[in-house]
Amino acid sequence: MEALLTSTLSVAIAEIGDKTQLLALLLICRFRKPWPIIAGMLAATLLNHAGAAWLGGFISNWLDPKIMTYLVAAAFIAMALWILVPDKMDDEESSLDKYGPFMATFVLFFIAEIGDKTQIATVLLAAKYDSLTQVIAGTTLGMMLANVPVVLLGKLGADKLPLRGIRIACAILFVGLGVSTLIFV
């Protein structure tokens, strides 16, 4: 249960103000159809995070556990620093628009998540915890918790979030995960 809760909380907080959240806002402004966008986000996140979790599990089995602990702790702390840098999103029209909201969302979300903070967090969490299923479920749930409200509320609430404070809180969370990884080996 710890893997599920930690994965959900870590990704939900890390996702606030992230480029995929900005992408969700852009998609709802373009298509104005929330349910296909939400379904596309869910499908893309499940596929992307399943691959990332598998990679994290593979790496954790391949490396010496002590080295893995130090790498995971250092990576969590590096994530904390990375989170403090805001993401930006282009406003260009996508050639995927002609395929509709589900396919455009699926492709754009999948691509946007490659190398993203939340994908790397998924790799790290899968390396730390034994249950890939809980990590995938948690990171996917975290993504949906952060992005579905953006889609449903559109522009109404997105501009009012204190993104700087949220980034700082998220950075503190990731430093805490890194330190706890070292302490509770």
Structure token digits, residue 165: 């404070």
65 CB contacts (<8 Å, ≥6 apart)?
A: none
What percent of the chain is predicted at pLDDT more than 70? 83
Q: Which of 80, 89, 72, 73 is nearest to 167 (CA)?
A: 80
Question: Would you place residue 160 in the very low, low, confident or very high pLDDT band (cuts 50, 70, 90)?
Answer: low
- pLDDT at residue 67, rounded to an integer: 79
Structure token digits, residue 68: 């893995």
Tens digit of each residue's pLDDT (9 = 90 or more) over 62-76: 777 777 678 777 877
Listed by start position, the domains of the chain span: 1-159
Question: Would you place residue 18 in the very low, low, confident or very high pLDDT band (cuts 50, 70, 90)?
Answer: confident
pTM: 0.72
**Cβ neighbours of 45 (radius 10 Å):** 28
3-state secondary structure of 7: helix
Average pLDDT over the chain, rounded to whole? 81
| Angle, alpha carbons 144-80-9 (nearest 5°) | 30
Angle of helix 34-62 relative to helix 117-128, nearest 10 degrees, comes to 40
11 vs 77: which has the higher pLDDT: 11
